[in-house]
Amino acid sequence: MEKPQTPSRLTRLWDPLFKGTTAVLAYLVLALLVAICLSLLREGWDAFKTFGWHFLVSKAWDPANNKFGALIPIYGTLISSLIAVVIAVPVSLGIAVFITELAPRWLRQPVAAAIELLAAIPSIIFGMWGLFAFAPWFSNYEPWISDHFGSIPGIGVLFRGPPFGIGMLTAGIILAIMIIPFIAAIMREVFLLTPPLLRESAYGVGATTWEVVRNVVLPYTRTAVAGGIFLGLGRALGETMAVTFVIGNAHSVSASLLNPGYSIAAALANEFTEAFSPLYKSSLIALGFILFVITFIILVLAKLLLLKLERAQGETA
Amino acid sequence: MDLRYLRRRATNVFNLGMAVLTTLLGLFWLFWILFTTARYGYHSLNLRLFTLDTPPPGAAGGLRNAFVGSLMMIGVGIVAGTPAGILAGTYLAEFAGRKRIGEIVRFFNDILLSAPSIVIGLFVYSVVVAPMGNFSGLAGGLSLAIVLLPVVVRTTDEMLRLVPSTMREAAMALGAPYWRVVLQITYRAARSGILTGVLLGVARISGETAPLLFTALNNQFWSTNLARPMANVPVTIFQFAMSPYQGWQRLAWAGALVATLAVLGLSIFSRFLIRQRNN
């Protein structure tokens, strides 16, 4: 009988070498995130040191006199993204309900794929469409919004403004269109995870389709749906090109959503290559750091919420 | 019939009606955007678009230098991002399994996947462009690689985990070392899935504008030197669309149409690949 060949020392080296290489590259992903964070902090340090915490609450943005504050871009980033989420959540819910509960089987895949194609369109195309097609059309209706919502006590001030077509509300609507595919895809996936037994019992006691969604599917998938919404919010916060085209790029805070505004990403896209002084550049990178930190927190929350349902699934399976 | 029953029925019909309407709304936006791009872009879609370089305002021209620059930078992105992504994904699927470190890398890979791309541009600016002293096509390609990397890591990980472990065990029982099992068995089994991931990633970086703004910048002239600022389609579209010159705006729309068609084509093709695989 032939003795089994034992691998020579050299060939035995290949396995740890292969494993080591893949491990190093996997850690590279972590290293990249840390490096991004640290390099932005380092380059933006000048601004944080010069202005202290005033940088976060100051409205100033005066390159000629080297005075910078982040309040206006932060405000614009948060408000435009919030508008986007407020619009995108009900629409995504509708799309997910349609695909999972209503559509005949042959229609599900094509509709889901078409909605996902919306996510594949480059953001600069959204921007051009927003500026040249959506904004002119929307400006026809802004006087109507002003007239009808502007007089509501309390929130009316949000809707009183000039009919430019571009501004915070337009940016929010376009961001909403961009994040709908992400939120709808997650809602659709998790809705399908609802145990058929729960769903069927509800139908068995005479619930309508809507009542099944409202009282069975949504409560079961609650955390993952919230995760999907946060994921959409994270995407909206960092969106650059589309917002740069339509937000108006005005360095001012205004209560009205119809007025032009500014966002962190738009400020970077417009001003970074033209920043003439080191402090100017550093302030812009500091803005980038703030954006990174905000989106990082939102995305971590999103992932944690999404993992929760996954874990629960793993336990029952 | 009692009133309560009617109200429940009415709520049901109303809400489901809204679901149909919102779906139509989503599809409506898709078609409106595609229609606008096609309508404005179609006029300037001719051979000169691919044979002439970007013109000064008022002159005739095309986007040849921008197309070539974009292709070169996407090439750099693929060359730098794909092997690293596939190997990192291999670690997650083959070696880390359900270990804690694997979960951590997966978690943060997904964060990197959704991180704002403009921040990645800033990062590459501070670690490549600023030390080198000038904007360059190489820096642009590297920032695209960072956008591509997490997409490839994720799909590779998912696709390798779908390969049945009996396949690996069969190969190992024949005495193959693990690295050969991975290279010759699991990679082969997951090939089309991994390719799909790469294609989806390439579709994504093809339209990315924000990471190129401060890395490749742009170049009005013909240049294939990766160490210099490089023309590219997205940034050219951005500059031309925002300009007051009609000729430039027309070129921007033509570029937008070509970019959209390329990106949608890639996404549809990779979807088709997945479908094939699943059948």
Mean pLDDT (whole number) for A149-164: 81
The owner of tokens 């194609």 is A117
| Overall average pLDDT of the B48-65 stretch | 91
Quick check: A129 and B206 CB within 8 A?
A: no
Cα–Cα distance, B230 to B279 (Å, whole number): 43
What confidence score (pLDDT) does residue A258 get? Answer: 87
Question: Per-residue pLDDT for B81 more than 70?
Answer: yes
Q: In angstroms, what separates the C-alpha of B138 from chain A's closest C-alpha?
A: 18
Within 242-271 of B, beta carbons closer than 8 Å to A belong to: 242, 252-253, 256, 259-260, 263-264, 267-268, 271
Interchain proximity B127–A299, CB inside 8 Å: no
Q: Once rounded to an integer, what is the mean pLDDT over residues B80-105?
A: 93
Element (H, E) at A68: strand A67-68
Instruction: Give the pLDDT confidence score for residue B98 in this predicted structure.
Output: 79
For A71-124, what is each residue's pLDDT tens digit?
A: 999 999 999 999 999 999 999 999 999 999 999 999 999 999 999 999 999 999
Instruction: Please check whether residue A20 touches B, CB under 8 A.
Output: no
Measured between CB atoms, which of A40, A95, A125 is closest to B260? Answer: A125
Residue A70, classified by CB atoms within 10 Å of its CB into exposed (0-12), middle (13-18) or buried (19+), is buried
pLDDT at residue B144 in the model: 97
Cβ contacts of B217 within 8 Å, gap of 6 or more: A273, B135, B229, B230, B235
Distance CA A260, CA A167 (A): 4
How far B53 CA sits from the closest chain A CA (Å)?
21
- Nearest chain A residue to B206 by CA distance is A122
Q: Does B21 touch chain A (CB under 8 A)?
A: yes
- pLDDT reported for residue A2: 56
The reply to whether residue B267 touches residue A97, judged by beta carbons under 8 angstroms, is no
The pLDDT value recorded for residue A3 is 57
Q: Which candidate from A114, A231, A292 shows the least CB-CB separation from B119?
A: A292
State ipTM: 0.93
Whether A238 and B107 lie within 8 Å, measured CB to CB: no
Q: In A, residues 71-130, which contact B (CB 8 Å cutoff)?
A: 90-95, 97-99, 101-102, 111, 113-115, 117-118, 120-129
Q: Which residues of A touch B87 (CB under 8 A)?
A: 21-22, 25-26
pLDDT band at B233 (very low <50, low <70, confident <90, very high): very high
Mean pLDDT of the residues in chain A: 91
Inter-chain contact B8–A33, Cβ cutoff 8 Å? no
Q: H helices within chain A, ranges in order?
A: 9-51, 54-57, 71-97, 105-120, 123-129, 135-139, 142-149, 168-191, 196-204, 209-212, 218-238, 241-246, 264-271, 278-316
> B36 pLDDT exceeds 60?
yes
Residue A317's pLDDT is 47
Percent of chain A with pLDDT over 70: 96
Distance, in Å, from the CA atom of B104 to the CA atom of B96, rounded to the nearest integer, reads 10
pLDDT in tens, A255-264: 888 889 999 9
Tell me whether residues A113 and B177 touch, CB distance under 8 A.
no
Q: What is the pLDDT of residue A5?
A: 61
What is d(CA A111, CA A95) in angstroms, rounded to the nearest whole number?
Answer: 9
Q: What are B140-182's pLDDT values in tens digits?
A: 999 999 999 999 999 999 999 999 999 999 999 998 899 999 9
Tell me: the pLDDT tens digits for A161-195? 788 889 999 999 999 999 999 999 999 999 999 99
Best mutation target among B91, B153, B187 (most A Cβ atoms within 10 Å) is: B91
Summarised one tens digit per residue, pLDDT across range A185-223 is 999 999 999 999 999 999 999 999 999 999 999 999 999
Kindly list the residues from chain A whose CB atom is less than 8 angstroms away from the CB atom of residue B263. Answer: 120-122
Q: Which pLDDT does position A10 carry in this prediction?
A: 67
Q: Do A129 and B37 touch (CB under 8 A)?
A: yes
Token pair recorded at residue B170:
């069969």
Beta carbons of A95 and B23 less than 8 Å apart? yes
Whole-angstrom Cα distance, residue A164 to residue A141? Answer: 10
For B:178-197, CB contacts with A below 8 A are 178-179, 182
Q: Give per-residue pLDDT as tens, B241-255.
A: 999 999 999 999 999
| pLDDT per residue as tens digits for the range B106-149 | 999 999 999 999 999 999 999 999 999 999 999 999 999 999 99
pLDDT tens per residue, range B166-222: 999 999 999 889 999 999 999 999 998 899 999 999 999 999 999 999 999 898 899
Sign of CA dihedral A24, A27, A28, A34: negative
Q: Which two tokens stand for residue B116?
A: 């704002």
Which tens digit of pLDDT belongs to each residue from A267-310? 999 999 888 899 999 999 999 999 999 999 999 999 999 998 87
What is the share, in percent, of chain A residues with pLDDT greater than 90? Answer: 72
Closest by Cα among A268, A77, A84, A109 to A176: A84
DSSP chain B: --HHHHHHHHHHHHHHHHHHHHHHHHHHHHHHHHHHHHHHHGGG-STHHHHSPPPPTTS----HHHHHHHHHHHHHHHHHHHHHHHHHHHIIIIIITTSHHHHHHHHHHHHHHHS-HHHHHHHHIIIIIHHHSS--HHHHHHHHHHHHHHHHHHHHHHHHHHS-HHHHHHHHHTT--HHHHIIIIIHHHHHHHHHHHHHHHHHHHHH--HHHHTTT---SS----TTS----HHHHHHHHHHSS-HHHHHHHHHHHHHHHHHHHHHHHHHHHHHHHHH-
Q: Give the nearest chain A residue to B153 (CA atoms).
A: A26
- Whether B115 and A292 lie within 8 Å, measured CB to CB: yes
Please give the DSSP secondary-structure letter assigned to residue A2: P
Residue numbers in B near A30 (CB within 8 A): 104-105, 108
Please tell me which residue, B54 or A148, carries the higher pLDDT value. Answer: B54
- Are A27 and B105 a contacting pair at CB < 8 A? yes
- By the CB < 8 Å criterion, does A270 face chain B? no
Residues of A within 8 A of B29 (CB-CB) are: 118, 177
| pTM to 2 decimal places | 0.93
Instruction: Compute the average pLDDT of residues B18-44.
Output: 95
